[in-house]
Structure 1
Amino acid sequence: MVPKGISIRCFSQTRSAWNLCWPSSQFGPHRVQRSEMLNGIKIAAAKTAGTPIAACTVMFQAGSRFETNDDLGSGHFVRVTTPASGCGYTAFSKTRVLQQLGAHLTCTSNRQYIAFTLCCPLPSFKAVKYYLLDTAARSCYNEWDIEDGKPIVLDDLFRITPEQRVIDLVQRACWAGPLSNSIYCEEERVDDMSRSTLCSFVYNNFKSTECSVASVGVPFDETLKIADKIEITRCKPPEREVCMSQPRGGFEYYETGSGSDTCIAAVVPGCGASDITLVIALVDQLVCLFKHAIIAAACGTGSVQTGQHDLDYTPHGPLGLMSGADVHTRFRAFNISYDDTGVFGILCNTRAKTAYNSTCALVEFLCNVGDLDFRQLEIGKKRLKLDLALHDQEAAPSSEGLALQLACGVQLDSIHDALALIDSISVDELSCTAKCLSSKRHELAIAAVGDCGAVPQELFSG
């Protein structure tokens, strides 16, 4: 008999309901469960705030910086051959079954990592999780799949946007060492790519100590099962040797013809997010990373959209206001961080006839970024917090971000932790960091894509 005044709730008795990762009332993913296996694989699973889409990421610290002279471009081919056949499923099966169940499997890579992400409705995860394993840890890299992927790689090189190309080139100009490796396979190396090259790259870099598995909306025990099937051994492999890169302050360019639109980027060495064993040092490193992100936001990272039309925007100041009445010129700041280091820079898209003045203004602004006042830095903090909050509910980016946190030894369970950390950074500290970036002007690196003759050559003569 139920006492009066006490409501009765009906609970499902089916086993499938027990395995669902139910949402909670707090905004954003939180209540993250973490673990680490004996072989070194790091695991994390976060609940969602009501979204019906779940995502799981298998990430290896095996980006293009770990490529050698024998396997340059392997990361690009790994990305292209993601839909190819594996040990358990054919390419046709992957395409058909995943589409039927509303799921998709993607591969993203940069100079630091390669990440395989499965995004699907939560009830379908058990039916498609093995496709993620088959792609991330059981890929065959058959010769016919590589041959089929070569035209796609060439097409990627043909269709790459000037902005993507200049971001890639400016990092090559900045670094002497492994970080100068491009994330794209060079055209002259495409025909020489083979199964043995890809298998050697995967064998040397897809190690359990460099692997992290993270999920958003997937139960922790399901995430643990995926990590357990990646590597059956229970001992850690030997540590991989990592070569360090040093700034060289160089210049790279890619000519597309006289009169063509021009994209220019200038960078100075920034900071990384390396895994430091001391807790105090780790917190300082994380704070340093947020400082650089705040300064980039304070400079201006894009536009405030006020409508659906491309030209209906108000640029972020102060950097966005440098173009004046020229609607064809856009400036924005960016910050890229890897394990041990990174770059901080400014990007400009303009026409050939204004490339000279725009390049001079861009370099002058970067060399004097330490002159940002306190009001602008405070606005930068607000912009960064808004940007983090806007993208917090996206399952796939949240899953990849959580996997990257595991790799870097960082712990931010929810958006509340990130916002609190940003609020704890004083404007005086931000000003000191901005002045430190200005002091690195002698290590300035520049890249240009487009009409390179319109760019001031005196900047590169030294």
Structure 2
Amino acid sequence: MLLQEVCFPQAAYGPTEIQKTKMLNGIKIVAARVSGALMTACTIMFQAGSRYETNDDLGATHFIRAMSSGSGSNSTAFAKLRVLQQQGAYLTCTSDRQTIAFTLRCPTPLFTTLKGYLMDAAARCSYHEWEIDDRRRLITGDLTRMPAEQRVLDLVQNACWAGPLANSMFCEKERIDSITSDTLMNYAALNFKSIHCAVASVGIPFEETIELAEMIDSRVVRATSEQCHPQPCFRSGIETHDLGPGSDTWIAVAVRGCGTNNVKHAIVASACGTGNMTQGQHSLDRTPQGPIGMLSQGDLFADYGAFNISYADTGIFELSLALHDEDSVKASQGLALQALNCTSIDTADKSIAMVDAIPNEDVAAAAETLAANRLSFSLKSYTDVPSTIFAE
């Protein structure tokens, strides 16, 4: 056994140690020490997704994503763009219905110099009125350039939920001109609070991650209680969007799934919704692959796949297209999301151990939960409407 441990090859890259803490103001901190990393990533995440928008600020999260490249308290938009490009760094803002995440990816030695730009985007953005006006055309372009797959995934959730979870991640075209600086400032002040914040890093020393979190403390409002999730209400809705005759057809069918408050069921649902086991075709040819491949009925040009989305308290499981991308940015955002949801799946070893520890009864229970909702599904079609109705 000793010889086997000594001779077994060690991974040259990957998390070797996970360190965690929680500040007195509620900010959760997670840092992963990585060996052999040339690029590091740090994520500041808030539970402030589109589900927390109200009638007065619908579309605010879309504008906040676009304004992540805007001016902050310590830097202008031009300086941010120029310096980050010169240093080979990337600053991104991503959001869903649950969270907003600001991530800086840069060479390891430059993080100390560039972390101020991450702070400006996440907690110090000025939301100048003239910069918002400059980005209205960008928002309109986002709606125009949105791929059909992304649009159908967004709209199927409008059919699924009655309530805040039905809020789109994109600003409606009719509301683009109504978003102002005061709208974004009020939304950030209401939702960007320390108790709803998590800071995660990959390849950055734990002490330096804590220092970054302490900088956030002086900029965000301290909350006195946990954030209450508006109770979602699932409805078996159906929506159609006509693209005109002869257009491609995009259909998503969804049932109620599992939230991250039940980690075991969420893991099983995610496993059922990703990977080759549910892709529908082999990766090297168009041979249908069961059971989802049976839906194509021999059509070589039809792509089928299962997809799972888990929020804090609920989720959906649907038939759609699944794409995957794993890098340090995804790892950093994943650690932040785990911290916000009070779960711990740090390394591959722990993940495998957790999956192995799930008894068959829990797997069967998760499958039964999804199967029990098969009669109360939601349907979204993005296609030539008459043809879709005939197909139904």
When normalised by structure 2's length, the TM-score is 0.91
Q: 1:261 aligns with which of 242, 248, 251?
A: 248
SS in 2 for 1:441: coil
Structure 2, gaps ≥5 residues long: 1-9
| CA deviations over 1:359-393 (Å, ceiling 9, x no partner) | xxxxxxxxxxxxxxxxxxxxxxxxxxxx99x83xx
| CA deviations over 1:69-114 (Å, ceiling 9, x no partner) | 0000000000011111111111111111111111010000000000
Assess, with a 3 A threshold, how the Cα gap between structure 1 residues 120 and 238 changes in structure 2: closer, same or farther.
Answer: same
Which residue does the alignment assign to 2:347?
Answer: 414
SS in 2 for 1:448: strand
Q: 2:369 aligns with which of 422, 433, 436?
A: 436
Q: Which moved more, 1:58-67 or 1:29-38?
A: 29-38
Residue 175 in structure 1 maps to residue 161 in structure 2? yes
SS in 2 for 1:243: coil
% identical equivalent positions = 43
Query: Is contact 1:79-1:107 (8 Å) kept?
Result: yes
Which residue does the alignment assign to 1:145?
Answer: 131
| CA deviations over 1:318-340 (Å, ceiling 9, x no partner) | 21353254222111001000000
Give me the CA root mean square deviation: 2.3
SS in 1 for 2:17: strand
Q: How many residues align?
A: 381
CA distance in 2, matches of 1:92, 1:267: 43
Q: 2:278 aligns with which of 282, 300, 303?
A: 300
CA distance in 2, matches of 1:75, 1:234: 17
Which residue does the alignment assign to 2:3?
Answer: none
Q: 1:98 aligns with which of 84, 89, 94?
A: 84
CA distance in 1, matches of 2:321, 2:351: 29
Query: Based on CA coordinates, which of the two structures has the bigger radius of gyration?
Result: 1
Q: Which runs of 4+ in 1 moved over 4 A?
A: 24-27, 233-236, 312-316
Query: Is contact 2:280-2:291 (8 Å) kept?
Result: no
| CA deviations over 1:308-354 (Å, ceiling 9, x no partner) | xxxx56665321353254222111001000000000111279xxxxx
Structure 1, gaps ≥5 residues long: 1-23, 275-284, 307-311, 350-386
The equivalences for 1:23-422 within 5 A come to: 28-232=14-218, 236-239=222-225, 240-274=227-261, 285-297=262-274, 300-301=278-279, 304-306=282-284, 312=285, 316-347=289-320, 391=326, 394-422=327-355
CA distance in 2, matches of 1:234, 1:99: 28
State the 1:153 CA deviation. Answer: 0.5
Assess, with a 3 A threshold, how the Cα gap between structure 1 residues 422 and 315 changes in structure 2: closer, same or farther.
Answer: farther
SS in 1 for 2:178: coil
Assess, with a 3 A threshold, how the Cα gap between structure 1 residues 336 and 32 changes in structure 2: closer, same or farther.
Answer: same
One-letter amino acid of the counterpart of residue 272, structure 2? I
When normalised by structure 1's length, the TM-score is 0.78
Which residue does the alignment assign to 1:449?
Answer: 382
SS in 1 for 2:120: helix
CA distance in 2, matches of 1:236, 1:142: 24
